[in-house]
Amino acid sequence: MNVRSFFAGLWRGLDGLRKVLHLIVLLVIFGALIGLLLSGTGRIPSKAALVISPDGQLVEQLSGEPVTRALEAARGDGRHETLLWDLTDSIRAAAADPRIQALVLDFDKFDGATQPTLEELALAVREFRTTGKKVVAYGNELDKEGYYLAAQADETYLDPQGFVLIDGYDRYRMYFKEVLDKLGVDINVFRVGEFKSAVETYTRTNMSPEDREESRAYLAALWSSYQQAVTRARKLAPDAVEKYVDTLAQKVPAAGGDAAHVAQEAGLITGLRTELEVEKHLIGVVGEDKASGSFRAVSVADYLPYALAQKRLHAAGKARVGVIVASGDILDGEQPPGTIGGDSTAKLIRQARLDQDIKALVLRVDSPGGSVTASEEIYRELKALRDAGKPLVVSMSGYAASGGYYISAPADEIWASPATITGSIGIFAVIPTVDKTLGKVGVGVDGIGTTPLSGQLRIDRPLGAEARALLQSQIERGYDEFLERVATGRKKSRADIDAIAQGHVWAGTDAHRLGLVDHLGSFDEALKAAAHRAKLSDYAAEFIEPELTWTQQLVLAIKTGVVRAFFSATPDQAALLKLASRLDPVAREAARLSRFSAPNRVYAYCFCEVR
């Protein structure tokens, strides 16, 4: 045997060993993935309660790219959000599932939602109750949003040391004019609309009379809607909640600080029970889990795969009504879920238009607006869908204001909740300049240009007269086009729309009275309306979302178990991250200003967040 043949044989042997080792590694990885998949699928007991325990904000679209979101969640530094449709799908599947004998509502980790989103979940809970199965809610601290949902239960229990804190609705904003003046920052504002208050956070030190007037009106509408929903669910007198709130600061001290007793006396809860007592009560309903010593329970995370499989089974062979969720600020270009991209959302609408199986479209809008350019891009695609003969129905959630209304305008029908914030038909642009700021530290700016407009849009120079005239003319033209879009869609005159536009914000009830929306009702009612227009008697809803690659689907399927093992945050770290996300109003305003201050963009946006 010569040296060459020896090494050739050795190489073949090593290469064979390499292949074997690669195969072993692949088998190990594959086995680990299968294990993670199986570990993420919980067994559904033969008799159990489905536990609804939303974590963080209840939203209609999760924010961020799916894989990024999953990885962040695994590390414990993602946004705390729960998808509304996951809960409603699970509850509706559970209503028909003989294994699920009860529904348990737990709001210890719940961080709120808009009232229309709450109502969608409440509707699913009420549907579950019609089956005769029991719904039990329990809480230590029930705030306004948590109590709205807890009130829908057959039995609502409060910890003896807990409380029900309902504080009504408010709208408070930070006003930055004084600090901007001290820093020497000029905020150059261009707007149309007497009530267009979006820019006032930068130009005033307090709320304008116009803003105060419209805010009082829609806050009162939200508060009235809230009270009606809660008193109807609990079968209380119409003024019971208002009396409870108005006298809470007197009655709790008089009761020696026993807020739970005051809530019980007011009829807001069924009774006072500790968590152990509630668990014992539920054991009597669904039986005991010997391993935990508590009642037999299944979480939404474990139950959802079954619920979605049932939904797909029932949808098989049926005509489709497409659903596109437009949630968040409207921005130009491609944007991740949780924001509305002019390009990305338009692509989804075009996909619905070209898909022969999609017979109608429901656009679920939850947006305060944003870029007019992006809104127009979306508007044109929606109009093309209608021109192609497919019915278009808009279902408004918490917000469909300004740009959110712009993209709603071409609909055949607009449905809203009584508590939807909508309207705000107006346009603005904001251009900050910092020449005075630079002057305060001894920096001067000087030079020369070739035309009157040269250098006029620099952030380090005052905004010139020519640029001001140009921008204001753009704003006025944009407002005229906005009015035209709405007038055409609503089949009203431009003057009629102008009279109720001017940036005025309306609650859903008032928008319905004024003709800005056609009907007050739920998402399901909007779906039925779209199906009726498409002449469909048997149909299924299909959410249209960006398609994931197989790699992305795999990462989501294994629920990032490997990442979680190495990068999970401690409970203390997770709590601090969650607290930090709620204590950054200045950072949020700065980020918003940076998005809405491009010199070549105008915006239709409503700073109308309520709590």
Catalytic residues: 196, 402
- What is the residue-wise DSSP string for 91-128? HHHHHT-TTEEEEEEE-TTB----HHHHHHHHHHHHHH
The dihedral through the CA atoms of 514, 515, 519, 522 has a sign that is negative
Nearest to 511 by CA among 417, 579, 581: 417
543 sits in which H/E element: strand 539-543
**Mapped to the 3 state alphabet, what secondary structure does 354-423 carry?**
HCCCEEEEEEEEEECEEEHHHHHHHHHHHHHHHHCCCCEEEEEEEEEECHHHHCCCCCCEEEECCCCEEE
Cα Dmax for the chain: 103
CB 77 within 8 A of CB 569: yes
Nearest to 220 by CA among 415, 421, 369: 421
CB 91 within 8 A of CB 53: no
Side-chain-side CA neighbours of 200 within 13 Å: the count stands at 22
Nearest to 409 by CA among 363, 373, 368, 347: 363
Q: How many helices (H) and strands (E) does the chain have?
A: 24, 22
- What is the residue-wise DSSP string for 518-538? SEE--HHHHHHHHHHHTT-SS
Residue 213 in tokens: 């007037």
Nearest to 268 by CA among 295, 243, 285: 243
d(CA 318, CA 539): 5
445: alpha, beta or left? (left if phi > 0; alpha if psi -120 to 50): beta
Q: What are phi and psi of 42, to 5 degrees?
A: -80, 150
For residue 442, with 0-12 CB atoms within 10 Å meaning exposed, 13-18 middle and 19 or more buried, which class applies? exposed
Q: What are phi and psi of 513, to 5 degrees?
A: -60, -35
The dihedral through the CA atoms of 7, 8, 13, 19 has a sign that is positive
Residue 611, SS3?
A: coil
- Bridge partners of 157, per DSSP, are 138, 271
Residue 439 amino acid letter: G
d(CA 506, CA 214): 7
CB 372 within 8 A of CB 485: no
| Residue 554: alpha-carbon gap to chain centroid | 26
Q: What are phi and psi of 67, to 5 degrees?
A: -70, -45
Residue 157, SS3?
A: strand
